Amino acid sequence: MSKLLLDVQDLEVNFRTNDGVVTAVNKLNFQLREGETLGIVGESGSGKSQASFSLIGLLASNGFTNGKAMYESNFGKVDLLSIDDKQLNRIRGNEISMIFQDPMTSLNPYLTIGDQLSEVLVIHKRMSKRDALKASKDILDAVKMPEAEKRLAMFPHEFSGGMRQRVVIAMSLLCKPKVIIADEPTTALDVTVQAQIMNLLRELQKDFKTSVILITHDLGVVAGFCEKVLVMYGGRTMEYGATDDIFYDPTHPYTQGLLKSIPRIDKDDIKLSSIPGNPPNLLNLPKGCPFMPRCEHAVEACNGLAALTPFGNDRRRACHIPEEEMTRRYHKLHEELTGEKYTEVHAHYFNNRDVIVDHNGIALNK
């Protein structure tokens, strides 16, 4: 088993507002090992981005945290939530880097790409400007940027969206970090460029032996890129496990709802399923399970919170309904909707597209 790099324990992220304290992340637990890829998925407002921002000290000024995030840094084990700014600055951008959602707003419009890339190495690695520019050119070559040396003198607005994303990926890799947090890295890109960027990330992860936390709402990307998945809703973990287990055998009603909402291109007569209702108001969450108001399987016990319970092969779920019963209902619904006997759904990433295929290789979505 690979080395444990990050151990997040009971993470809470809170914000002080005029209407009271909002808890965006509530008792989040996960581990990240060397070279591993963890996908954190959920609807907008589920808390996935705020959880990642808290790990590198990028919360808004009204935010505060509880819990622990134990990280194996180059200078020993530290709690990312309690270390001082000096220690955090040694880690942030150096050992742990981040790819932000919108590369245009992540880059300084007044500085050339060369200046922005080289600054990282001058600050963290104490390089001379000349050596930093050479290393910046090399990292642009690594992310397959054409005419890399010429690009160093260009400004962000002179690049396409896909090229800007390559720049911020290059910036995140400059110091050869142990962990990269990728927050919706392909949201603003078209499907073809999305596939190119995800394939590039996969190659670079292998080359640099980097661990990745991928934050996304795109289940196709998760299926093809991640080894483990953490499903969040209303700031809490709903389900956690290996990617294959989550896609083959989802046991939480929310996870099942997400998977049922994936369109199938091989069936014209199947109505696209959606999760009824709206995401919760974090200032007025239900007393029990946050998903209860939208859950078609809710029972009286759901008025109380379900503990995050381990089961199966290193899996966890927070639901009062037994996993065997949820699995049975999921299989039955599949058969009612499709007229076909349920078989394990395989998640693949092939032909440069996000595609989920069934056991016969028939595409369920594109």
What is the rounded CA–CA span in Å between residue 283 and residue 268? 41
Q: What is the pLDDT of residues 24-46, one digit of tens each?
A: 999 999 999 999 999 999 988 89
What local confidence, expressed as pLDDT, does residue 224 receive? 85
Q: pTM value?
A: 0.87
- Return d(Cα 221, Cα 7) in angstroms, integer: 24
pLDDT at 14: 97
**The predicted structure's pLDDT at residue 93:** 92
Rg of the chain over CA atoms, in angstroms?
Answer: 21
**Residue 159 structure tokens:** 């690049």
pLDDT of residue 360: 36
> The tokens of 297 are what?
């399987």
- 122 class by beta-carbon count within 10 Å (0-12 exposed, 13-18 middle, 19+ buried): middle
Structure-token match 């969450």, residue found = 285
Amino acid identity for residue 11 in this structure: L
- The region, left, alpha or beta by phi > 0 then psi within -120 to 50, assigned to residue 57 is left
Mean pLDDT by 10 residues, the chain (366 residues): 92 94 95 94 92 95 97 95 94 94 89 96 95 95 91 95 90 92 82 81 85 90 91 96 91 91 66 83 89 92 93 92 87 74 48 37 39
Domains in the chain, CATH or no CATH each:
4-217 (3.40.50.300), 231-357 (3.40.50.300)
Cα separation, 134 vs 148, whole angstroms = 10
**Residue-level pLDDT at 269:** 61
pLDDT at 8 (0 to 100): 97
Question: pLDDT tens across 322-356, in order?
Answer: 988 888 888 887 777 667 777 654 333 333 334 44
Q: Residue 224 CA to chain centroid, in angstroms? A: 13
Look at strands 37-41 and 179-183 and give their pairing: unpaired
